[in-house]
Amino acid sequence: MKRPLLFYAILFMVFLYGPILLAPLFSFNDSIFATFPLKGFTFRHYAGLATNTGLLQALEASLIVATASSIIATAISVPAAIALTRHKLPGSAAIIAGMSAPLVIPSIIFGVALLIILLRFLGVELSLWTIGASHVFICIPFAMTVLMSRLEGFDKSLEEASRDLGEGAWMTFLRVTLPLAMSGIISSLLLCFITSFDEFVLAFFLSGTQPTLPVYLFGQLRFPNKLPGMLALGSSILFASALLVILAELLRRRGVPSNSAGET
Amino acid sequence: MSETGNEVIEIREVFKHFGPVAAVDGVSIGIRRGEFFSLLGPSGCGKTTLLRMLAGFEHPTSGEILIDGQSMTNVPANRRPTNMVFQSYAIFPHLNVEENVGYGLRNRKLGKEEMRAGVAAALDLVKLGGYGKRAAHQLSGGQRQRVALARALVCRPKVLLLDEPLGALDKKLREEMQVELRQLQRNVGITFVFVTHDQEEALTLSDRIAVMSLGKVLQIARADDLYERPNCREVAEFIGNMNLFEGKVAAATGANVTVDTAAGQLVAEADTQLATGAPVYIAVRPEKMTLSTKRPEQGQNALKGRIIAETYLGDRRQYLLATAAQEKPVTVSQQISGIETKAPSEGDVWVSWRPELARLLTS
Amino acid sequence: MRPTPQRSAWLVGYGLLSPALALMAVMLVAPLLAMVVLSFWTQQGFEIDRSFTLANYFALVEPSSEPIVWMGIPIPLKYPVPAILLGKSILMSLAVTIAVIAMAYPMAYFLAFRVQRNKALWLVLLTIPFWTSYLLRVFAWKIVLGFNGAINSGLKSIGVIAEPLSFLLYNPLAVIITLVHAWIAFTVLPIYVSLEKIDRSLLEAATDLGDSKWRRFLRVTLPLSAPGTIGAALLVFIPTVGDYVTPTLVGGPGGTMIGNLIQELFLRQNNAPLGAAVAIVMMLVIGLLVLIFLWLIGFHKLRSRVG
């Protein structure tokens, strides 16, 4: 083997994608079992999804929660990211660390802790609102990472130039910061949307009568006869997530041409 | 020196501390209307901080800055009658050339036509007519610099601030831009405050130069005065080459001062009265010195030495001489005009200069 | 008096941060405090006794004269389940972390030093699995390892085995494999970033000074990428100790972890105060282990050296 690392990298990718791609594979298999050998190609598991009212309600719930929490999380993170990248604030390291907490602390702890405060201390009923609030929180580190790297990616003197040319803080934000950060904002929205849409543990703990899609899916996994339908559902979710990630990544990488001389 | 009323910028006793560090350490400068003024110094000397305080991006810890007689203390950057050409040029990457240049005009309540005309005139001024629709990333380094200039000038500032604007260009382009920048400044008649660490650039461009070091202004003078009459060792050594001989005043008769140095008694002219025994430096430019194989006549300062290195520089040849007087070799520069008579590389040579060509420095 | 510009800039900065800080306070600090408070109360049937007591914590360490033996180790506790599950979870997470780092590091190295073209494509390919549903990725392993799963039915259909292998699923190893798979994509990126940041001229300098490739790796590349790698390891270790989805789906009775116990205490056994105490003890133990680990390897020195 001339290039052992390349060989390893390919094996790595097979390990990474193999299990994930089994769900789409079996979802097209004309059988109610996820087993080899494959029987035949069919779309019928997908067709069944469209008429499943429980599923459609869960999908609707997920879309509402994911849309709302991605917008709110991004809206909170934009000013925070500006503050942390543009103002030299005392304590900013601690604030950044605090905001990354959802990445590190097991989500079961959050789920349980939120359950306690909502039910035992505040007496709030569980609903899509409680799920959404928790999702805003776990989206913050992703939104902050994307937005801060975007804001750090362009020359601070661009904003100074705008001030120098007569614009105040608010107009500088509108005319320079916002357009330059736009790719980051969109990619933050997309990534937060995916995060919320796919989130299971918090939604499981905090859902009331209305489940989100992952919670619904989890509930259905107990019934073997529902398996093919759930494989089709899972495959659809995987496909949609992958599409959004690719879009977000493209946006994040492209961004705006930087402030340096071109090749001409 | 200062002609009051004619100064567009007054910097009064300005200090800027970053934590315990004084980046600007008690600077007072008056910059005259319409002049090309340079802040020259090595990196970290506080010149950029001073410029950013003029623009309003940094605030003095103490002291005051006046522009056109008005205190700038409570005036934010966007309300100041200054515009800046940034070191990175800060061309907005999401806007084209025209939109970049017109950026500052948006606040002027101008009509569409007026704005377009202003932008076009500014682009013509920097020789970028017809480039208006170019995207920012399609511009070369030199073009970016011109766009940055046009964008600042179109706002008709009272003062244009330039933060090492030629630093990113290669040597040839830089020299071309120097000439153009000088002409542009004469044409528009706006006061330019130019920050640079390149002494040659400062000497070429400026009406007056402030030499800065460690947050302090060492000397403010015209380019020729700075070169011919530096007021201290640091300025003398920062601008061009300078030979320095340390000593003590032995006697002062009229303008001529005799100094005891390790190389014997040397004579130089002084502007001020100096007490006997005062520590001084005699400063002589390499091109003011003459090399000869024989001891020169009386009335000249002379030292004996050996040539240890020589450098050919096209229009002149530079020699390094080891002398018994001091560890640091003496630099002598000989103009090559007509047929060159080279100094012998073997044996002793004499280096000499007339007393009036040397400067006496007290610090 | 002139307003101090420094102070007003801070004010604006904190103003911009205030929504995020408020969210942190509401969603992080308040719930954790509530959990701490609850852990000092006790469950009496369906009621909560709000008098302060350490009973829940004491229950976790109450000694017993008849030790229960777990994996050959006698556990002298009256209620040994939390301690056993916590120990087991930590060991399993440790195994997961070591496996993840060992597998992710060569991949990150490949990306940082070997991939010239299409680097963005590799990166996106690595990123996609991380963002796709955790639940689905875990469930995928149930399909792979299950009694009627892909491996068993595959092997059976080509005649290697006659009967399905039952040891594949529902055990700690299945949990470990699944967790490795779930976290590995997340780990490659931070390691890759720390490798990518290494100034290439440092590597050339090492070669120039006589190091072989392997020695250069050990003396330059590895130390410089250590902080990023350790950070990535912690990002795997800490959350996996408390993982709940994986042991539930592929762990079976033998593969349960501490997260299952917490869920059980809250939702099934209706003993939230005890569950809160278990959750707090789990966090404290993880925190302590991480601090000891960082202290042992001198993380601060390591990081400041890398700069």
3-state DSSP of chain C? CCCCHHHHHHHHHHHHHHHHHHHHHHHHHHHHHHHHHHHCCEEECCEEECCCCCHHHHHHHCEEEEEEEECCEEEEECCCHHHHHHHHHHHHHHHHHHHHHHHHHHHHHHHHHHCCCCHHHHHHHHHHHHHCCHHHHHHHHHHHHCCCCHHHHHHHHCCCCCCCCCCCCCCHHHHHHHHHHHHHHHHHHHHHHHHHCCCHHHHHHHHHCCCCHHHHHHHHHHHHHHHHHHHHHHHHHHHHHCCCHHHHHHHCHHHCCHHHHHHHHHHHCCCHHHHHHHHHHHHHHHHHHHHHHHHHHCHHHHHHHHC
Residue in A closest to B78 by C-alpha? A166
Cα–Cα distance, B202 to C98 (Å, whole number): 60
| Shortest distance, CA C98 to any CA of chain A (angstroms) | 16
Question: Which chains sit next to A, with 3 or more Cβ pairs under 8 A?
Answer: B, C
- Which pair of tokens denotes residue C55? 């009973």
Complex ipTM: 0.85
Question: Under 8 Å CB-to-CB from B197, ≥6 apart: which residues?
Answer: B40, B41, B42, B43, B47, B164, B167
Contacts of A5 in chain C (CB under 8 A): 106, 109-110, 114
Strand partners, B163: B195
Under an 8 A CB cutoff, do B90 and A259 touch? yes
pLDDT digits (tens, 9 = 90+) for C174-210: 999 999 999 998 899 899 999 998 888 888 888 888 7
Contacts of C5 in chain B (CB under 8 A): 59
C-alpha dist (Å) from residue C241 to A147, B178, C97, C289: 30, 65, 10, 12
Q: For chain A, list residues with pLDDT below 70.
A: 1-2, 254-264
* Residue A254, pLDDT score: 66
* Residue C306, pLDDT score: 60
* Residue C6, pLDDT score: 64
Within chain A, what is the greatest distance between any pair of CA atoms? Answer: 71
Under an 8 A CB cutoff, do C148 and A114 touch? no
Instruction: Flag whether residue C284 sits within 8 Å of chain A, measured between CB atoms.
Output: no
Cα–Cα distance, A159 to A180 (Å, whole number): 10
* Residue B226, pLDDT score: 92
Question: Band of the pLDDT at C305, cuts 50, 70, 90?
Answer: low
| Contact by Cβ (8 Å): C218, C132 | no
Cα–Cα distance, A73 to A187 (Å, whole number): 12
Question: Is A47-253 a domain of CATH 3.40.50.300?
Answer: no
**Phi-psi category of C74—alpha, beta or left, where left has phi over 0 and alpha has psi -120 to 50?**
beta
Residue in A closest to B92 by C-alpha? A158
Task: Summarize the confidence of residues C257-264 as an average pLDDT.
Answer: 92
| Shortest distance, CA C47 to any CA of chain B (angstroms) | 58
Q: In a structure prediction context, what are the per-residue pLDDT tens digits for chain B, which is 363 residues long?
A: 444 568 999 999 999 998 888 999 999 999 999 999 999 999 889 999 999 999 999 999 999 999 999 999 989 888 899 999 999 899 998 889 999 999 988 877 778 888 899 999 999 999 998 899 999 888 998 899 999 999 999 989 999 999 999 987 888 888 888 999 999 999 999 999 999 999 989 999 999 999 999 999 999 999 999 998 898 999 998 888 899 988 888 888 777 888 888 878 888 887 777 788 888 899 999 999 988 888 887 778 888 888 888 888 888 899 998 888 777 889 999 888 877 777 777 778 888 888 888 888 888
- Which pair of tokens denotes residue B68? 């056109």
* Residue C281, pLDDT score: 95
| Shortest distance, CA A172 to any CA of chain B (angstroms) | 10
Domains of chain B, start order: 7-237 (3.40.50.300), 241-361 (2.40.50.100)
Question: Under 8 Å CB-to-CB from C11, ≥6 apart: which residues?
Answer: none
pLDDT digits (tens, 9 = 90+) for C23-48: 988 888 999 999 999 999 988 877 88
Backbone φ and ψ for B265, nearest 5 degrees, come out as -85, 130
Amino acid (1-letter code) at residue C172? P
**Nearest-by-Cβ selection for A36 from C23, C127, C154:** C154
Contacts of A170 in chain B (CB under 8 A): none
| Shortest distance, CA A63 to any CA of chain C (angstroms) | 15
The rounded percent of chain C whose pLDDT value lies above 90 is 37
- Which pair of tokens denotes residue C34? 């509530």
* Residue B1, pLDDT score: 42
Domains of chain C, start order: 64-306 (1.10.3720.10)
Question: Which chains sit next to C, with 3 or more Cβ pairs under 8 A?
Answer: A, B
- Which pair of tokens denotes residue C29? 């600090």
SS3 B169: coil
Helix axes A128-153, A178-198, angle to 10 degrees: 140
The closest alpha carbon to A86, from A183, A185, A169, belongs to A169
Cα–Cα distance, C108 to C122 (Å, whole number): 10
Q: What is the mean pLDDT of chain C?
A: 87
* Residue B145, pLDDT score: 92
- Which pair of tokens denotes residue A124? 């709030």
Measured from the Cβ of residue B55, the count of other Cβ atoms closer than 10 Å reads 21
Under an 8 A CB cutoff, do B92 and A158 touch? yes
| Shortest distance, CA C67 to any CA of chain A (angstroms) | 30
Q: Where are the domains of chain A?
A: 47-253
Amino acid (1-letter code) at residue C160? V
Backbone φ and ψ for B255, nearest 5 degrees, come out as -75, -25
Measured from the Cβ of residue A134, the count of other Cβ atoms closer than 10 Å reads 29
| Contact by Cβ (8 Å): B262, B330 | no
Under an 8 A CB cutoff, do C131 and A245 touch? yes
**Nearest-by-Cβ selection for B94 from A256, A260, A261:** A256
**Nearest-by-Cβ selection for A262 from B87, B137, B151:** B137
Contacts of A87 in chain B (CB under 8 A): none
- Which pair of tokens denotes residue A120? 């035992």
| Shortest distance, CA C65 to any CA of chain A (angstroms) | 32
The rounded percent of chain C whose pLDDT value lies above 70 is 95
- Which pair of tokens denotes residue A206? 């905090």
